[in-house]
Structure 1
């Protein structure tokens, strides 16, 4: 059965997967969602005998049903290859009774690689399927990881260009160097004088600019997105939760149909939404544990049913989660509103005009699968230090948010089910914060001295993603105010 997509804000028409991937964002500003979530049609026993590529195919074929088997397998084979530093692609590591799903073994050492390695191939295949001859311009905002992973995926891909905006001073020094040294004649990186939410809102405004769209079309361009608002980003993320469960089953860690919990450090809500979709496909997941940092807008939402971005924006040592507008939450709101685009659109209008909205008690009752909590800077730093000292495992600051919240969840509920924690970035990506958590004495060292010291004390090799930027030249030195983002885009495209 084919899976079709429609906007969360209107009921005007349905789209195939390839059409939704090409558009990125719906014309009405909504996000594309499947009209129904397809069921897993392969047993866990069968999945447990498969490698990552085979599992990914058996998950993604249900969502990307207008792709032929040959097309989808070609995209998967091109994505999950030697640019990952482990054959498993997403290894599970047992640490102090929990299973860390290491999603950072790709070319930019963050979980975004899991989806952004395949998105360029899904997008170019979608263009061919729909007879699109325009050059596709990927426009994206990043809180640190998406930008580099997207550029790595799209660099020098024929028929594409990519423009990335990131908040000046709002990413780690390693993240910034990864972006500004990016090679590829079709890549363009710009820091903005603002925070991530302002960058993301600016990108959405450019997407919705009809006059600019016409200018683009006249010059042979069209926009698409690499953010997790693109369904082509979200679908590949579902696969790794299925893979994790299949691995646990294969290793005898869970029995058939035994439920597990999943913990996800969450900013934009895409990664945990993928776990929610996996659960709704039939994967035996019980609780979805949403872990926030000091920008705890999601924790407050799960506690109160009120989503309120009217608060101080905190710059933290887990910067990829420094977000107050969790865009992918809209897909969940649409779902708990009974797939009502009218109700969802009204709430999103409240968010736009008032900076907040409140869901009904009936909608809040639909969130029973979720548990939310947050970790302070001091708490997550303590988790990093304590875990290293007890077993030698070094985690990054975002994974530490998840580990801290998981500990709070266990203490609050007594629930000791088998648990998978999404480990979303390599500690090498946030070396200074990680090493300072282990011992403040490290703050005196330079960034790459810290890289070498982390390698030594953790007994792990420095990832290639770090080695390649150690002496790399800065290629992008662009900056603009938020209200200048559109002009920057036009300048890069020559329109």
Structure 2
């Protein structure tokens, strides 16, 4: 956000920039906080109504700042993300915004810049293993990543391209296992049931960042564009066995059902006294499946992507603590009793914050919601 603000000043840009975001729960809050009250920039975040945890929802709905807007979409994350992409591609709508002095930009997985800091995590994890004496310099390791929109694991792929000794990137999905099927068969087919799971940030059937991997692997823009068009019009595409084999040299995939995710949370807590959130547990479970299936002896890093406190109800259920009829903040305290890590201040402070955003729209009226927001003067 600060880089963008400085760029606007240096280039003499007079228009305002509107950051449009579709979030599956986690990084919408990060984007909101980053762009809060940044001069010459507004941010609007769309999230799937009923498709995020209550704590994730409260993080966004209580967001402060004169230039922010949070709106629920009456659909799933795919509806929200497709709606945002449609807005970017609507020439007439963008011209109407330009007349109001507004230019669009993006955050989250739509923006490649989101991946840059994530790449750093992979090098940092490798450096930690070196410092601990667990591996020797140059020794290849594996990573398992809980994956919905294919962003974090793509950052791992870029880290490998930059020289990090990565042997395998294991793609871990929940019941919305479209990526598992794709990485096994080469066929991407979104024509399937959509499931609401206890790992909601991965409840995605159109994995936006996969297009970027295909671009690097196929080295053929026209072919990738054709596949994306097939996905939009027919709901599926097939990359063929040759390209699939190339992708499988680096990637492996499996998925975990909710019941197994809960069992993993309980098992990890019993063995290691570590409280894993449901997304981390999906990855942990799939990492074990990978090692059992392949016998791979490389050291494995499980990428933990969220705090368990954001999903306190699901985590406590898995740990055998009754949660029925208990409010979110009492659940936070109950989970604190199980967890050696304190409740993050950002979540603890939600107890006393007012809800500031209440907007709701249908996927087909997202443009109207955007226009209503940009027509409202930003209070100084």
Q: Which of the five TM-score ranges fits, normalised by the shorter chain?
A: over 0.9
- 1:403 matched to which residue of 2? 284
Distance 1:291 1:317 in 2: 14
- Could you tell me how far 1:215 is from its partner in structure 2? 1.8
Distance 1:347 1:425 in 2: 32
What is the CA deviation profile of residues 351-400 of structure 1, one whole-angstrom value per residue up to 9, with x for unaligned ones?
01001000021111111210000010011100000111112110100000
The answer to whether 1:323 aligns with 2:211 is no
What is the CA deviation profile of residues 274-331 of structure 1, one whole-angstrom value per residue up to 9, with x for unaligned ones?
0000001110010000000000000000111000000111100000000000000000
- Could you tell me how far 1:253 is from its partner in structure 2? 1.4
- Could you tell me how far 1:220 is from its partner in structure 2? 1.4
The answer to whether 1:226 aligns with 2:107 is yes
Match of 1:360 among 236, 240, 246: 240
Distance 1:398 1:470 in 2: 24
What is the CA deviation profile of residues 399-458 of structure 1, one whole-angstrom value per residue up to 9, with x for unaligned ones?
000000001001101112111111000000100000001005233422111111111121
Match of 1:483 among 355, 364, 368: 364
Instruction: Trace 1:108-257 onto structure 2 (pairs within 5 A).
Output: 120-257=1-138
Match of 1:449 among 330, 335, 342: 330
Contact 1:122–1:232 (8 Å) recurs in 2: no
- 2:319 matched to which residue of 1? 438
Contact 1:295–1:324 (8 Å) recurs in 2: yes
Instruction: Trace 1:63-142 onto structure 2 (pairs within 5 A).
Output: 120-142=1-23
Distance 1:125 1:408 in 2: 47
- Could you tell me how far 1:125 is from its partner in structure 2? 3.3
Distance 1:216 1:232 in 2: 24
Distance 1:208 1:127 in 2: 23
Normalised TM-score (structure 2): 0.96
The answer to whether 1:290 aligns with 2:171 is yes
- Could you tell me how far 1:248 is from its partner in structure 2? 1.4
Contact 2:35–2:43 (8 Å) recurs in 1: yes
Distance 2:194 2:4 in 1: 34
Looking at secondary structure, tell me which structure has more helix per residue.
2
Match of 1:474 among 336, 355, 358: 355
Q: How many pairs are equivalent?
A: 375
Distance 2:214 2:312 in 1: 36
Normalised TM-score (structure 1): 0.74
- Could you tell me how far 1:231 is from its partner in structure 2? 1.5
- 1:33 matched to which residue of 2? none
Structure 2 gap segments, 5+ residues each: none
Contact 1:166–1:196 (8 Å) recurs in 2: yes
Name whichever of 207-216 and 345-354 sits farther off. 207-216
Secondary structure, aligned partner of 2:125: helix
Instruction: Trace 1:346-357 onto structure 2 (pairs within 5 A).
Output: 346-357=226-237
- Could you tell me how far 1:212 is from its partner in structure 2? 1.6
- 1:276 matched to which residue of 2? 157
Distance 1:380 1:175 in 2: 20
- 2:222 matched to which residue of 1? 342
Secondary structure, aligned partner of 1:417: coil
- 2:146 matched to which residue of 1? 265
Distance 2:70 2:323 in 1: 30
Distance 1:282 1:357 in 2: 31
What is the CA deviation profile of residues 246-272 of structure 1, one whole-angstrom value per residue up to 9, with x for unaligned ones?
121122111010000011000000100
- Could you tell me how far 1:129 is from its partner in structure 2? 4.6
Contact 1:436–1:443 (8 Å) recurs in 2: no
Distance 1:375 1:122 in 2: 39
Match of 1:415 among 271, 284, 296: 296
Distance 1:287 1:437 in 2: 29
Secondary structure, aligned partner of 1:479: strand
Structure 1 gap segments, 5+ residues each: 1-119
Distance 2:6 2:126 in 1: 30
RMSD over aligned CA atoms reads 1.2
Match of 2:184 among 303, 322, 346: 303
Distance 1:457 1:488 in 2: 42
Contact 2:2–2:38 (8 Å) recurs in 1: no
For the structure 1 residues 391 and 443, does the alpha-carbon distance in structure 2 shift closer, same or farther, using more than 3 Å as the test?
farther
